[in-house]
């Protein structure tokens, strides 16, 4: 019997430097290579220019009174200034706090106060968001917030002008006091219940994770990485930016927020070799009118993450987007983020049926959620991960940290997974979503995947609701393809009867027009349980 444990053995050592030090090393090695292109702004920087721009902003922050350990908020859409703030804060040992551009005023206020942000850099407007008005509304309630600087505004120039009072030598002295184990970033995890928690990450956490994600897809200074995913997530700023700068590759920003046509135009115009996205982004690109007219011949690889990739979509990405080496990643903010990744030569089944195998220098195991004992391979349990990537903790919340990171430094992900005999991992659901019906463990995701094939169902969410006889009963919430021809419970029962065990068949049905969603686009299953749980 082989246990569900794997360790990512590697002959490539971990990087023992700060993010600022790593960028300087890359700039010295590839000064004339292009480092950053902001397509919408029509601006581009070589590595020598990027390094100098980061130094200037770092000195501006120091001149504005920001010191090691101070929190600097960034509330902005994707743009070059976001990247400059990321590297400049790292260079002086400040802690950058990522704030979701979709947040509204009350969420902004919570994060500014919870993290103790003293200086905020923000966009002015984007789509329907007036960031300046929201900042003005919450500022009186955020006593630690000393200064706000807006991108593409005179206040941004004021921040840069503060650099005149700080010498290069003072900046070097500041850098000399930094350790790679210092906190450098706080990212708020989207709370499906209550307020979000601030995962606190070190230079060592995220620099190495970005570096090894890039290693898995063989990045070199020849690569040009198109990043349409948001920087405020690890996907953009770690798997995108840090993977690129640790290899001397170029970061390409196609647009302030996701736009499928702008993304493909950027790939064509900038001769990108790598493209990132969640499956819905790739679907939007493939379904664009005139998709075939874009020249995507330079693409070689890319990363798909965020949710499982349908087989047909993966086939098209490989065949029609030339991404023969596309990689699937699995992770969470608290683990910097990636724990498992598919390899360049993995077959279609591994890229669509699994989330890859353990990353270098990381351990993963699958345990019984109740006893904590490591399970045999092939059995479903909670996925835990340990190694350099595990966060320092939730900012200022030691109790919540202890609930997620145990005494052995294992991060408990809350995800239900199976480790196959070949070491590849399949995610089967969330522990909190698991239904216990009459003593049987039921994983909603398995039922959902099956019901997606029903001809009358456009989307489906399965939840457990209280039941006197069985403890919990299975409820299917469906959005029909045609509201005038919604499936009945009898039809669903008949559809499931030959394919699913009797205890997995939904006993209740609710037909809905849409699902309750979180800010980051995840379905609020807790809301569905609350709404329909009284029978």
The CATH number of the structural domain formed by 434-533 is 3.30.300.30
> What is residue 83's predicted lDDT score, i.e. its pLDDT?
98
> What is residue 192's predicted lDDT score, i.e. its pLDDT?
45
Task: Supply the DSSP symbol for 259.
Answer: -
- Cα 62 to its chain centre, rounded Å, is 30
Residues in contact with 427: Cβ distance below 8 Å, sequence separation at least 6, in sequence order: 308, 330, 355, 383, 415, 416, 417, 445
Q: Considering only CA atoms, which of 355, 336, 381 is closest in space to residue 5? A: 381
Provide the b/e sequence for 115-133 (b: ≥16 CB within 10 Å). Answer: bbbbbbbbbbeeeebebbe
Q: Torsion angle, CA of 507/508/512/515, rounded to 10 degrees?
A: -80
Domain boundaries, the chain: 49-179, 434-533
Distance CA 483, CA 513 (A): 8
Distance CA 4, CA 506 (A): 30
> By CB neighbour count within 10 A (0-12 exposed, 13-18 middle, 19+ buried), where does 186 fall?
buried
Q: Which fold does the domain 49-179 belong to in CATH?
A: Rossmann fold (3.40.50)
Q: Considering only CA atoms, which of 302, 314, 322, 394 is closest in space to residue 354? A: 314
What are residue 88's phi and psi, to 5 degrees? -70, -40
Cβ-contact 28, 245 below 8 angstroms: no
> What is residue 410's predicted lDDT score, i.e. its pLDDT?
98
Distance CA 44, CA 41 (A): 9
> What is residue 523's predicted lDDT score, i.e. its pLDDT?
86
The DSSP code sequence of 409-478 is --EEEEEEEEE-TTS-EEEEEEGGG-EEETTEEE-HHHHHHHHTTSTTEEEEEEEEEEETTTEEEEEEEE
Per-residue pLDDT tens digits of the chain, which is 535 residues long: 999 999 999 999 999 999 999 999 999 999 999 999 999 999 999 999 999 999 999 999 999 999 999 999 999 999 999 999 999 999 999 999 999 998 889 889 999 999 999 999 999 999 889 999 999 999 999 999 999 999 999 999 999 999 999 999 999 999 999 999 999 999 998 654 467 899 999 999 999 999 999 999 999 999 999 999 999 999 999 999 999 999 999 999 999 999 999 999 999 999 999 999 988 899 899 999 999 999 999 999 999 998 778 788 899 999 999 999 999 999 999 999 999 999 999 999 999 899 999 999 999 999 999 899 999 999 999 999 999 999 999 999 999 999 999 999 999 999 999 999 999 999 988 888 889 898 888 888 889 888 989 999 999 999 999 988 888 999 999 999 999 999 999 999 999 988 888 889 999 999 999 999 876 667 889 899 999 987 5
Residues in contact with 430: Cβ distance below 8 Å, sequence separation at least 6, in sequence order: 414, 415, 416
Question: What angle, rounded to 10 degrees, do the helices at 131-138 and 105-115 form?
Answer: 60
Using only the alpha carbons of the chain, give its radius of gyration. Answer: 24
**Cα torsion 288, 292, 297, 302: sign:** positive
What are residue 347's phi and psi, to 5 degrees? -80, 175
Neighbours of 20 (CB within 10 A): 26
Distance CA 177, CA 530 (A): 51
Cβ-contact 85, 193 below 8 angstroms: no
Distance CA 180, CA 21 (A): 9
Q: Give the strand order in the sheet containing 34-38.
A: 43-46, 34-38, 250-253, 224-226, 274-277, 301-304, 327-331, 338-341, 357-358
> What is residue 46's predicted lDDT score, i.e. its pLDDT?
98
3-class SS string, 289-335: CCHHHCCCCCCCEEEECCCCCCHHHHHHHHHHCCCCCCEEEEECHHH
Q: Considering only CA atoms, which of 363, 360, 384 is closest in space to residue 372? A: 384
Distance CA 208, CA 332 (A): 15
Beta strand 198-202 pairing with 393-394: antiparallel
Q: Considering only CA atoms, which of 359, 494, 340, 344 is closest in space to residue 417? A: 340
């Amino acid at each position: 019997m082989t246990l569900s444990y794997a360790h990512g053995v590697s002959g490539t050592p971990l990087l023992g430097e700060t993010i600022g030090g790593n960028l300087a090393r890359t700039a010295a090695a590839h000064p004339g290579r292009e480092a950053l292109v902001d397509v919408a702004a029509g601006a581009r920087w070589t590595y020598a220019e990027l390094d100098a721009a980061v130094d200037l902003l770092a000195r501006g922050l120091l001149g504005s009174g920001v010191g090691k350990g101070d929190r600097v908020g960034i509330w902005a859409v994707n743009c070059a200034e976001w990247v400059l703030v990321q590297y400049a804060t790292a260079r002086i040992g400040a802690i950058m706090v990522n704030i979701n551009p979709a947040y509204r005023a009350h969420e902004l206020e919570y994060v500014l106060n919870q993290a103790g942000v003293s200086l905020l850099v923000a966009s002015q407007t984007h789509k329907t968001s007036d960031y300046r008005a929201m900042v003005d509304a919450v500022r009186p309630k955020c006593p630690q917030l000393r200064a706000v600087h807006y991108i593409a505004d005179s206040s941004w120039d004021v921040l840069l002008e503060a650099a005149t009072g700080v010498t290069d030598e003072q900046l070097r002295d500041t850098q000399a006091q930094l350790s790679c184990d210092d906190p450098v970033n706080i990212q708020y995890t989207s709370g499906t219940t209550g307020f979000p928690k601030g995962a606190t990450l070190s230079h060592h956490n995220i620099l190495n994770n970005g570096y090894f994600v890039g290693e898995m897809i063989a990045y070199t200074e020849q690569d040009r990485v198109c990043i349409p995913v948001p920087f405020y997530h690890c996907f953009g700023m770690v798997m995108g930016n840090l993977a690129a700068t640790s290899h001397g590759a170029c970061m390409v920003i196609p647009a302030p927020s996701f736009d499928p046509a702008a993304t493909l135009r950027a790939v064509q115009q900038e001769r990108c070799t790598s493209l990132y996205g969640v499956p819905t982004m790739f679907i939007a690109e493939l379904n664009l009118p005139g998709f075939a007219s874009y020249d995507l011949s330079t693409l070689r690889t890319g990363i798909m993450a965020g949710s499982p990739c349908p087989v047909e979509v993966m086939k098209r990405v490989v065949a029609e987007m030339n991404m023969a080496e596309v990689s699937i990643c699995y992770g969470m903010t608290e683990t910097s983020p990636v724990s498992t990744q598919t390899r360049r030569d993995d077959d279609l089944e591994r890229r669509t049926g699994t989330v890859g195998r353990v990353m270098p220098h990381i351990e993963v195991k699958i345990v019984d959620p109740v006893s904590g004992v490591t399970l045999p391979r092939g059995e479903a349990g909670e996925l835990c991960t340990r190694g350099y990537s595990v966060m320092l903790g939730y900012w200022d919340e030691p109790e919540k940290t202890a609930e997620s990171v145990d005494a052995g430094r294992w991060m408990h992900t809350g995800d239900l997974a199976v480790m196959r005999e070949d070491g590849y991992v399949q995610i089967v659901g969330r522990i909190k979503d698991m239904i216990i019906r009459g003593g049987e463990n039921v994983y909603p995701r398995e039922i959902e995947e099956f019901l997606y094939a029903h001809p009358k169902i456009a989307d489906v969410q399965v939840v457990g609701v209280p039941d006197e006889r069985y403890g919990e009963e299975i409820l299917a919430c469906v959005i029909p393809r045609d509201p005038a021809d919604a499936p009945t419970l009898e039809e669903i029962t008949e559809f499931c009867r030959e394919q699913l065990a009797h205890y997995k068949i939904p006993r209740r049905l609710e037909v809905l027009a849409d699902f309750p969603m979180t800010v980051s686009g995840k379905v609020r299953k807790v809301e569905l349980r609350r709404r329909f749980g009284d029978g």
